[in-house]
Amino acid sequence: MTRPAINGTCQKNRNILLAVPAGIIGAVCLIFTFFYYPVVWTPLVTYNRFLLMIQIPQMLLAGLFILLLSGAGVMRYILSEITGPRDSIKQGIITGVVMGIVVALFVVNTGVLYDNLPWPIIVRWFALIVAICISGTVIGAYLFFRSHMIADETASENPGKKQVPFTVTLLVICIVLTLVLPPAFAFIGTRSGFIANDCSECRIHQNVMAERLSNQSVQITYTSKVPSVPWVGPYEPPVISINGNDVSSQSVILRQGIPCRIEPAEGLSYDTESIVILNGRAVSRDNDRLTHVVVVSHNGSPAGVTLYDNML
């Protein structure tokens, strides 16, 4: 089914002019996501790389919806002037070309791609971005046109029952939900314990401070930026060594016969904040002889992550 033809070169020029701002607005929306994702996801992915399985599909879906919206958006204003599917495809192509050029220029000129790439590769990336934008906007424009054609046919058979399944409002809602819900789920999940903060990168985000209280006393303070998740399993406490000797707990100290005492006897624990005090000749500072203090975490990294290494 086609709509009645609208004659006039001015009308065609108007349609083209409407496709240009639609492409620019769509490009701006896509460029916005380049800044949105790092701000929202970096604090979360830092603690759990598996959240990329949520972030990547979100990025792809949001990009797809924005492309569809750009194609459908221009069709919303010129639908009465479109005579058939070919016209809708042409409008989608124009919108996609404009959108693709703007996005490609942004990607090429802002260092999103690696610097110093040879021109043939840059041209290929440029062409790929434009092709992807054209594909999305053409599909959006065509689906918008077809959904209204089907709705018109249905309404002609059943007056008063025109329902359009593919609308601009629906696409806007999908974009908002796609941008908001996945990071919200990840944020609530990691903070509540539903999603485990259990990975090598997470374990690196621990902090240790050590200070000498007296000639034979050293205090070690351990803090973690993220809470432990009970159902993942017990976390191993950090290992403390003094001058190459393991002094992580009182039982370890007694077994080695080191002249040192640790309080509390169980040593450091994986907690929001844990403090131990080492006392004895093993940590004494005599005649400017410094004590080598090392604290290593083995959570999430079999080889161990050195959290503190200093002379006191």
| 3-state SS track over 151-201 | HHHHHHHCCCCCCCCCCHHHHHHHHHHHHHHHHHHHHHHHHHCCCCCCCHH
Q: Choose among 28, 25, 116: nearest CA to 74.
A: 25
**pLDDT value, residue 160:** 59
Residue 231 exposed, middle or buried by CB count within 10 Å (0-12, 13-18, 19+): exposed
Q: What is the rounded radius of gyration, in angstroms, for the C-alpha atoms of the chain?
A: 31
User: From first to last of its 312 residues, what are the pLDDT tens digits of the chain?
Assistant: 444 444 445 555 566 677 888 889 999 999 998 888 888 887 777 667 678 888 888 999 999 999 999 888 888 877 767 777 788 888 889 889 999 999 988 888 776 666 667 778 888 888 999 999 999 999 988 888 888 787 777 766 666 565 666 788 888 999 999 999 998 888 887 777 677 655 554 555 677 889 998 888 999 998 876 555 544 445 677 889 998 899 999 999 999 889 899 998 888 887 667 889 999 888 888 767 788 999 887 765 556 778 889 888
Query: Contact 211/218 with Cβ under 8 angstroms?
Result: yes
Report the distance separating Cα 295 and Cα 286, nearest Å: 22
Check residue 215 and report its DSSP letter: T
**According to CATH, what is the number of the domain 200-311?**
2.60.40
Check residue 248 and report its DSSP letter: S
Task: Please state the length of the chain.
Answer: 312
- Helices 168-192, 52-78: crossing angle, 10 deg rounding: 160
Check residue 281 and report its DSSP letter: G
Tokens 């018109």 identify what position? 152
Ranges of each domain in the chain: 9-192, 200-311
**pLDDT value, residue 203:** 53
Beta partners for residue 202, in sequence order = none
**pLDDT value, residue 162:** 59
Peptide bond into 264 cis (omega under 30): yes
Query: Contact 47/199 with Cβ under 8 angstroms?
Result: yes
pTM metric for this prediction: 0.61
Helix (H) or strand (E) holding 54: helix 52-78
Q: Is 112 helix (H, G, I), strand (E, B) or coil?
A: coil
Beta partners for residue 241, in sequence order = 246, 294
Q: How far is CA 136 from the centre of its chain?
A: 23
Tokens 């916005």 identify what position? 32
Beta partners for residue 310, in sequence order = 293
Q: Is 241 helix (H, G, I), strand (E, B) or coil?
A: strand
